């Protein structure tokens, strides 16, 4: 469980709104439920905005009650839908969004999403004065200021379940499989999945890959009778097609790997118990922080403690893999 801060109520709100933005992540629904139930408990009206910032600038919102969030904690995706809104990058569009919120007598906005979504929230506050609280909703776990993000645990377990099945075929046919997991600029999913799956090799954006070295290690393990088959976990990387290019280069070195792209199955599915608890705590604490006078922050978790992180810091710094963990993961799988 998490340690929650004790906050004194210093202000009240007539109404707040909540939206989910960017890529969907398992656990967004429990987070929405946490926001709605906590706000209603404080006598605050809650509006759910559909389709993220795109829905906000279109005025697509509806008031929510307790029944609106009943029976949703086990559902993947987001009941409010999501979108990536390029228009929200423009100041005039953010000003329009603030006006729409004020016309609905909405005093604050809770944004659940990744770094791009949280950047939009920070700029909305900075330019218009609308109170905002961000929640880290992304399977990549690459948000600065928090040890964990909503959806990461579920994505890891989804990928792990798939790899366990792929390994059966790899063993039966004495083949190596390159299994691609999500992570364009971050290897958090790949490292965690690779360690949990006992992968023979792990390829992440944070560490340059030498195809000749990989090929040599595979050949040596095959000759030694310790690695006639196996799993190589590959983070997708910033450029599409990395895993296929890696497979082709390995074939040039007399290897014959198979490729499996897990893709968007990592985003879907029922959230794990871990993600449900994390999301619920973060959603409820977003309302508590607002009522305690906080704004322009993200609710994060560090060493088991729920805490507030300035959104300016969240969007200004990059969360990287622990080099010690990376070295350990690569060492134990060689």
Residues recognised as catalytic: 140
Is residue 2 within 8 Å of 283, Cβ to Cβ? no
Is residue 284 within 8 Å of 35, Cβ to Cβ? yes
Tell me how far apart the alpha carbons of residues 80 and 69 are, in angstroms, rounded to a whole number: 11
**DSSP 3-state assignment of 1?**
coil
**Number of neighbouring beta carbons within 10 Å of residue 130:** 22
Closest C-alpha among 100, 144, 151, 96 to residue 118: 144
Residue corresponding to tokens 């985003």: 267
Integer angstrom CA distances of residue 130 from 101, 174, 289: 9, 59, 15
The beta-strand segments (E) located in the chain are: 15-20, 45-49, 61-64, 108-113, 131-136, 176-181, 201-203, 230-235, 258-261, 297-302, 305-310
């Amino acid at each position: 469980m998490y340690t929650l801060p004790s906050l004194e109520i210093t202000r009240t709100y007539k109404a707040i709104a909540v939206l989910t933005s960017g890529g969907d992540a398992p656990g967004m629904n429990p987070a929405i439920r946490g926001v709605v139930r906590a706000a209603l408990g404080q006598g605050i009206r809650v509006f759910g905005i559909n389709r993220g910032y795109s829905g906000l600038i279109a005025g697509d919102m509806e008031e929510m009650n307790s029944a609106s969030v009943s029976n949703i904690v086990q559902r993947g995706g987001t009941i409010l839908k999501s979108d990536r809104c390029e228009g929200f990058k423009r100041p005039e569009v953010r000003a329009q969004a603030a006006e729409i919120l004020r016309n609905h007598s909405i005093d604050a906005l809770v944004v659940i999403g990744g770094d791009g979504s949280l950047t939009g929230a920070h700029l909305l506050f900075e330019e218009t004065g609308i109170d905002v609280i961000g929640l880290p909703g992304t399977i990549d776990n690459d948000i600065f200021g928090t040890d964990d993000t909503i959806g990461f645990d579920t994505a890891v377990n989804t990928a792990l379940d798939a790899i366990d099945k792929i390994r059966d075929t790899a063993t039966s046919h004495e083949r190596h499989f390159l299994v691609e997991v999500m992570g364009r600029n971050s290897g958090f999913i790949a490292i965690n999945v690779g360690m949990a799956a006992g992968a023979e090799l792990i390829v992440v954006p944070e560490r340059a890959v030498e195809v000749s070295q990989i090929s040599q290690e595979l050949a040596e393990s095959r000759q030694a009778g310790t690695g006639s088959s196996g799993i190589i976990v590959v983070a997708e990387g910033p450029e599409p097609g990395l895993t296929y290019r890696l497979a082709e280069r390995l074939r040039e070195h007399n290897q014959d790997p198979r490729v499996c792209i897990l893709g968007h199955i990592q985003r879907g599915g029922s959230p794990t118990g871990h993600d449900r608890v994390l999301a619920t705590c973060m959603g409820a604490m977003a309302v508590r922080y607002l009522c305690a006078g906080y704004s322009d922050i993200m609710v994060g978790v560090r060493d088991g403690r729920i805490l507030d992180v300035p959104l300016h810091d969240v969007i200004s710094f990059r969360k990287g893999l622990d080099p010690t963990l990376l070295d350990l993961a690569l060492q134990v799988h060689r």
